[in-house]
Each structure stands twice: as structure tokens, then as C-alpha cells.
Amino acid sequence: MGVWLEILTLNVPQEIVHALESRTFSLHIKGSAGTGKTTMALELMKLFPENCRAVYLSTRVSPERLYEQFPWSKSCIHQENVLDANANLYSDTKQEALFEYVDKPSFLRSLYSKVMDSTGEKPTIIVDSLDALKSNLKIPCDEFSMESDILEISNRLNAKVLFISELSGESKLDYLVDGVVRLEKEIVGGRLLRKLYIEKVRGKRIENPMYLFTLKDGRFTCFEKGIQINFTNQKFSKGEKEKGKKIPSLISELDNILGGGFERGTFNIFDIGDKVGLNHAYVCVPMFLNLVIQGIPVFSIPSKGIFSTDVVKRGPSISLSETFISSLDEGTLKYLSKYFCVILPSSHTTPNKIEMYRTYFLEGKDYKEDINNFIDFASKILDEVQADTLLVTMASDTMEYIYGTNGLLKIIQTWMDRIKQINGIMALFQFGHETLRLQTHLASNYFRIENIGGNIVFYGEIPKTKMYVAALDILKGHIQTRLVPIE
């Protein structure tokens, strides 16, 4: 696989990448207005070799407008190859004079000549959009001779061709081309969600028929299934905390939502969707680490499925366990032993090996006695490390396991009130509790983490935010959650 194809895997699905390795390939990109069809087509051209002969037939915008909207496209499509596909013989510009036509035969002759005359290798034709082109040439929508003729030209010239259309349903063109991609935008709960469906790739297996994507910064970026991991050399700031100020999570997108970070004395809910499972750790683990390296004591009551050694040493999947371990340097491990504590039910079986951080046990007989004993324990640690605030995170499934279902909300609210009294921050990770979900008025901030199409999606209800897809940036000694907005 060439270098450009390796880069391409970051932006479009693998199925499309592998299909484009073919000598000739025809792709139909369809969807309603504003779904990102033009952006996707240009992204494909951006990642072709620099000497690719890309001819872009536009019925939408002039070359100037195209470059204004997509400035990065200059490097992949030369201005002389951006052709106005509107039938207009009255323009004085040299550019349009090179591509004059009044009917279908003259259009096809001009197209063939232009592709032949373009310099470079791997010729590619982009028709944007097919609907408008046929309208200009007075060709009925249900007649597909134009598409067949363009495909014939591409076969003669060993060229690839990308058709862009406003169609959303099935059409005869879908049977003529090698691949079909449908782009959709949905509004879910007042939030934008973008989906790419792969309907056909001739001769290739479709591993995943649906992907989420974003048009952030005018670029087409498709999200691979699961958590995207980026190994980076970027330096991470440890942040600055001030007395009376907010405590940054060092997840930049989350801190922007929170207006700088977590407010002391607040109750924060993270509602975990049914299909997320332990993948919520991709968001919470780096957040815990970020607070710890700022000198903020963190006390964690983890979900039942996570053992104490898993909370910061391991990711939620076996394949990432070594990644999390190897990413913690000695400095971070020293912070953990001083500022991090895992709170477990007294019935929990502790590992034989020594933990790298503190462990505290809840008896589970009387929740008021448990919280009083914990406050005494936490206060001693605050004095020991000379900190003026702390974070307590608890998983609702573990609290239910310790104290039972009856009165669970009251128990959690008691913990919340007591932690506020010592200037602490509380974060509840709730799993499948409909009764708890009704109590959003108790929360200063209320977020949801869901699995949509195999991606971990994060968004806020209080405050209301757009949707974000979670990814990880990993630097030796540090793990950083990144929230990529769907725009």
C-alpha cells in the first residue's frame, strides 16, 4: 500500500481505501444538501499523489469560491482543472473558454480532451453535481446515458470517476458504478449527527457498513470503530490551579464546556449508555490522571467490572492494557501513590500484589457511618498533601451492590451533601438507573456517554452541547482524552 493510502485511512473508511487501489474505480457519493458530499470527494483528491490528474467538474461554485471554501484543495486540484460545468458560452474568462459546450456530445468531447491534456498520472474525474449537469444539458433525471458515457471515457483513459448527486434512494447509477456511499445528517435531541453508509463496493468485503464522521474545520474525517488512538509528541500542560478557581480536567474540550474546569462543591453526572460498558474508562481514566498530576486527591469507587488495579493501570480492553501501563512514567506513578485512592466494598478480594496507590474499604452496613468514616479518612489525606479540595467518583452499580437498591438515591445524595461540605467535587457514573436519571436537577453538570455505531460518543445535557467522539492521544508518560466534535 502506498503512502497516500496509509494517510487516507485516517479520513475515509478502509473499504473505500482498498477499492481505490484498483486501476479504475467509479464511486457514487449521494445524499441530501449539506451532508458533506463535496468535502468527501475533495478529501479523496487531497490524499491522492501530488501528480494525480484530477479534473473537477463543478456546477456549484467557481474555482475562486471553491478555494475560498476549501483552501486546502489547492494542493490537490490545480486551478486549470477546475471546470465550470454550467453551459455558458458568454463568459470572457479564459478558464471557461477552454471548456465550452452546448449539448451532450460537445460536453463529452470537451471532457475527454481536458482529461487527455491534463498533466500527471492516475487521472480522476469528479462530477459535482450530476443532477445539475443533466439539468443544464436538458437530460431527463431517469435517463442514464450521460453516466454510461462518462464511465466509458474513464475506462478508455484508465481513470477513476466520482459522481456526486443529490439522490438518496436507490438508482440505476448504483448498478453501473463500482461503489456507492450515502451520507446522512440527523438531528438527534437537537444535536447534529453525521453518518456514512457504504452500500456497495464491488469485489471488496464491507467490514463496517456505517461510520460516523465530522466536517470539522471544513475537512472530512471518518471515525474508525472503537477508540481512535494517536501516538503523539505533543507536550501536555499540567495546568495551573488557584485557590477558589475551577479545577481543569486538562481535557480541553471538556474544560471549554465547563468554563475552565470543575467547580468546587459541584455534583456532576456521567450517564453511561447500555452499550458502552467499561469503555467509559477511556474518558474517566485520563481525567483522573490529569487531576492527580495537578495535586488533587482523587477517590474512586469504580464500576463492579473494574478491579482496583484496573482503574488507572489498564484500559477497559485487553488489547490496550499494555498501552495504558507503558504510558505511565515514574513521575505519574509517584503522584498516584500519593494522591489516588480506590474505594472498595469490604467483601472485595484484594490482589496478592501490593497496590501502587491507597485502598479504602466500605463496610456497607450503615451508609451514614461509612460516609462519616470516609470523610475523616479523606480529611487526613487533604491535610497530609496540603490540598484544599478533592474529587470523589462513584459508580452507581457498585453503590447498589454495597447498599442495595432501596434508598440508593438518598444514599448518593447524602454522600453528595457531605462532600460539598469539605469543598469537594463529586462525579457519579450511573449505569442503567432510570430512577436516578430523573434527578438531573441535582446536577451542576450532566453528561451522557453512549455507543453509537461502535464509537464512544460524549455530549452534555447540562449544559447542552454538540456531540463529540472520544479519542486518545498518548505520549510517553501521559494519556490524554480528546473529544472531537461532530460538525
> What is the rounded distance in angstroms from the CA atom of residue 167 to the CA atom of residue 366?
63
Q: Give me the residue label for grid cell 466500605.
A: 362
In order of their start, the domains of the chain are: 3-222 (3.40.50.300), 229-485 (3.40.50.300)
Q: What is the pLDDT of residue 50?
A: 64
User: Cell numbers at residue 44, please?
Assistant: 479523496
Count of H-run helices and E-run strands, the chain: 18, 20
Q: What is the Cα gyration radius of the chain?
A: 28
pLDDT (tens place) for every residue of the chain, 487 residues total: 333 333 333 578 888 878 877 878 999 999 999 999 999 998 888 767 666 778 888 887 777 788 888 888 877 787 778 887 775 544 444 444 346 677 888 889 888 888 887 766 678 899 998 998 888 888 998 899 999 999 999 999 888 999 999 988 899 999 999 999 999 999 999 999 999 999 999 988 888 899 999 999 999 999 988 776 666 555 555 555 555 578 999 899 999 999 999 999 999 999 999 888 878 888 888 888 889 888 999 999 988 766 444 444 444 443 444 445 455 666 677 778 889 998 988 876 555 444 567 889 999 999 999 999 999 999 999 999 999 999 999 999 899 889 998 888 889 999 999 999 999 999 999 887 665 665 677 899 999 999 998 899 999 999 999 999 998 877 655 678 889 999 9
Cα-Cα-Cα-Cα torsion 243, 245, 248, 254, nearest 10 degrees, comes to 170
- The model carries a pTM of 0.86
User: Cell numbers at residue 133, please?
Assistant: 449537469
Q: What is the pLDDT of residue 1?
A: 33
| Other beta carbons within 10 Å of 3 | 9
Q: What is the pLDDT of residue 436?
A: 62
Q: What is the pLDDT of residue 70?
A: 86
Q: HSE, CB side, 13 Å, CA atoms: give it for residue 225.
A: 7
Q: Which helix (H) or strand (E) holds 470?
A: strand 468-475
> What is the rounded distance in angstroms from the CA atom of residue 168 to the CA atom of residue 186?
14
Which are the contacts of 427, defined by CB distance < 8 A and separation ≥ 6? 268, 269, 270, 284, 391, 392, 393, 394
275's torsion region: left (phi>0), alpha (psi -120 to 50) or beta?
alpha
SS3 state at 382: helix
Q: What is the pLDDT of residue 487?
A: 96
Q: What is the pLDDT of residue 236?
A: 52
Q: What is the pLDDT of residue 316?
A: 40
